[in-house]
Amino acid sequence: MTDFERKLYRIIVNMHLYRKNPTLQELKRKTGKGEQEIRDATKSLIRKGAISWDKEKKIWII
């Protein structure tokens, strides 16, 4: 995992603990990165099996 992927993962996990899904705007604000960088890192985390998205419930599965 790259440093940015680790940071993004920690943000998603911490917000998940408080039953909140981070929006793209929140992730942009918290990471200081652009939309494409966040999308690329998220896709990488999904490919690595660190996180997945539940389409029905619209939540991250850690």
Distances, alpha carbon 15 to alpha carbons 53, 55, in Å? 14, 18
Give tens-digit pLDDT for 1-47. 899 999 999 999 999 999 899 999 999 999 999 999 999 999 999 99
Domain ranges of the chain: 3-61
Closest CA to 28 of 16, 19, 36: 36
CATH code that applies to domain 3-61: 1.10.10
Q: What is the pTM of this model?
A: 0.88
**What is the end-to-end Cα distance of the chain in Å, rounded?**
15
